[in-house]
Amino acid sequence: MRKKIKEHESFISSINYGYSIINKENFDELDKQGYTILRTNLNYWKKNNIDFEKLSETTDKLCKMEGKSGGWENGKSKEKNWEPSAQRISNLPNKDKVFIKVSMLPDLIKGVNYVIKNPFKLSSMQIRNPIPFGEKQEMHIDWRPRLFNYFNFNQCTAFIYLDDANEENGSLNIYPGTHKLLGNPNFELIKTKKLKKVILNVKKYNILILNIFTWHYGGKNLNGKKRRTIFSNYRERSEWQQLNQKRFLDKNVIDNMDYKLKYLYAVRAEDKNESQWFYKYRNNYLLKGYQKTRDIFYHKYLNYFNKK
Ligand SMILES: [Fe+2]
């Protein structure tokens, strides 16, 4: 266990490149609200050697190319539209090098590391492109709910905003501080605890770092304006990846990665091979029961020993 922590610490200390602005205020917001916005601009992206306009063009190109069938490399049927209010494009690091660069941005790694506080890996990278005038999402969290307070936060997502986002084009609605509550989001608690939501006002070029246990949903797109975002999603290494990177990255993409990247994407020989079978049947009630027991055991004991 200790070896894995050491390995991760060495990965984190190697994040000493590029231009980083995340600070204590952001970390405090992550603690208190469950999210923070980095008010970054075009210059920030330039300093990180990323051509933002090209990133935006590449996004449009992929959206055009993949159309409605985009987004579901991980085995979901292409015929069925799983999210009618938005187009998704998945497996981005395999489609253009710029997405790999984005996934390694120092501020993303530092923010995610602050939330997860345990060794983590990339889980998936997607584009979400809401359909004009599309409906709002249901309120949700993005992962299995925490069952007890000793469960750590084992997933975190960075959103890169390619367009301005506000109430009019369906920006994210968030209930600040709800990452600390256990279980799934529910409207009863909103009423009894008088929870207030925030509708994010975010500009193009900005980055949102979201502890995905914070209750949230994308709003209704009222004015039909674009609201494209790139999600870079990270999970604790003990979890499976939303998209199995060993399986979905082409060999030449992996071969071109340096050691740091291979570690982040968990595509080294020593990184466990994820079970497609388990992924396929993960919603089966027996596996769900197993997962619940495993979560309790893991968080109560293994995670405890991890830190020893
Ligand atoms: Fe979500």
Say how many Å lie between the CA of residue 233 and the centre of ligand 1. 11
Q: What is the pLDDT of residues 80-89, one digit of tens each?
A: 666 778 889 9
CA of 154 to the centre of ligand 1 (A): 15
Q: pLDDT digit string (tens) for 92-123?
A: 999 999 999 999 999 999 999 999 999 999 99
The parent domain of residue 134 ranges over: 2-306
Q: How far is the CA of 146 from the centre of ligand 1 (A)?
A: 16
Ion ligand 1: residue ranges with CB closer than 5 A: 142
Ligand 1 geometric centre to CA of 141 (Å): 6
Phi/psi of residue 167, each to 5°? -55, -35
Q: Which residues of 48-77 are buried (b: 16+ CB within 10 A; e: fewer)?
A: bebebeebbebbeebbeebeeebbbbbeee
Residue ranges in the chain assigned as alpha helix (H): 2-13, 24-32, 42-47, 52-66, 97-103, 106-116, 187-192, 245-248, 251-255, 259-265, 276-280, 285-297, 303-306
Which of 43-57, 126-140, 144-158, 285-299 shows the lowest per-residue confidence on average (mean pLDDT)?
285-299
Q: Please tell me the total count of domains within the chain.
A: 1
pTM summary value: 0.93
pLDDT at 1: 64
Q: Residue 293 maps to which CATH number?
A: 2.60.120.620
pLDDT digits (tens, 9 = 90+) for 124-183: 999 999 999 999 999 999 999 999 998 999 999 999 999 999 999 999 999 999 999 999
Task: Compute the distance from residue 84 Cα to the ligand 1 centre, in Å.
Answer: 15
Q: Where are the beta strands (DSSP E) in 153-245?
A: 155-161, 172-174, 198-199, 207-211, 216-218, 229-236
Q: How far is the CA of 102 from the centre of ligand 1 (A)?
A: 20
